Amino acid sequence: MALLEIDSISCFYGDFQALFGVSLHVDEGETIAVIGANGAGKSTLLGAVSGLVAPAAGDVRFDGASIGGLPAHRRVSIGISLVPEGRRVFPSLTVRENLLIGGHRGRSGPWSLRRVFELFPALEGLAGRWGNALSGGEQQMCAIGRALMANPRLLLLDELSLGLAPVVIKPLYATLAEVAAEGTTVVLVEQDVTQALATASRAYCLLEGRISLEGATAELSRDQVIAAYFGV
């Protein structure tokens, strides 16, 4: 059963159209990847799901119900959490405070401060450090932990590897298997095609605001991905 259904959405920023009738679905418990170059519309797509961008046309449904009219904070309450591009950790709050803010809606579920520290042991030792004193990888762990503290049914990850060294990226991706094992559905937006396809069961490729390719990751060839990614 589809947990998330995106039905022919179009999104604009002023006169600029970022998405053109995009449709996709994500089944409960599934991890999917949305890949594409800069400006393809990936972050806009997540914004439409999380409530940060209002589609001009089409519909977004969560667990069978339309959520087009729900503001972002209400979407957190029903189980949708976003890890934004660039992490956006609160710089003047400690790691612990950042995490506790993520859980302020009080949704029940497996994720707690203790459980996040088990997932990211490095964060426990940094619990009292200010957000602006963290490295890029530490900020990403904190941002993921903050989103998990809301006990989401659907976790949206925007550019997980952006600006991070390969030695940091690999363990971050390893944690996604643990997140999925808790029953969380994951939508991963990523430019790192290799990592994304190795993690997800299905993938969609966006090109200039349109779906250029979709399918099971195990069945997508390198040539198909390159053609869809670059439009060649």
* pLDDT number for residue 58: 97
Kindly report the average pLDDT of the chain as a whole number: 94
3-state SS assignment for residue 123: helix
Kindly provide the residue ranges of all beta strands, DSSP E only, lying in 112-152, ordered along the sequence: none
Q: Which helix (H) or strand (E) covers residue 225, if one does?
A: helix 222-230
Does residue 232 have a pLDDT over 80?
no
* pLDDT number for residue 74: 95
pTM over 0.75: yes
Please, which pLDDT band fits residue 223 given cuts at 50, 70 and 90? Answer: very high
* pLDDT number for residue 161: 87
Q: What is the per-residue pLDDT across 73-104, written as a single tens digit (0 to 9) for each? A: 999 999 999 999 988 999 999 999 999 999 98
Q: Sign of dihedral through CA atoms 152, 70, 61, 209?
A: negative
* pLDDT number for residue 168: 87
* pLDDT number for residue 199: 93
Does residue 123 have a pLDDT over 80?
yes
What is the CATH code of the structural domain delimited by 2-230? Answer: 3.40.50.300
Please, which pLDDT band fits residue 105 given cuts at 50, 70 and 90? Answer: confident
> How many helices and strands (H and E) does the chain possess?
9, 10
Expressed in angstroms, the distance from the first to the final Cα of the chain is 34
* pLDDT number for residue 6: 98
Q: What is the per-residue pLDDT across 37-62, written as a single tens digit (0 to 9) for each? A: 999 999 999 999 999 999 999 999 99
* pLDDT number for residue 226: 93
Q: Which helix (H) or strand (E) covers residue 35, if one does?
A: strand 31-35
| Helix 136-148 with 166-181: angle, nearest 10 deg | 10
Q: Which residue has the tokens 């589609």?
A: 55
Does residue 9 have a pLDDT over 90?
yes
Burial string for 206-215 (b: 16+ CB within 10 Å, else e) reads bbebebbbbe
Please, which pLDDT band fits residue 25 given cuts at 50, 70 and 90? Answer: very high
* pLDDT number for residue 138: 94
* pLDDT number for residue 104: 87
Domain ranges for the chain, please list them: 2-230
Q: What is the per-residue pLDDT across 140-192, written as a single tens digit (0 to 9) for each? A: 999 999 999 999 999 999 998 888 888 888 888 989 989 999 999 999 999 88
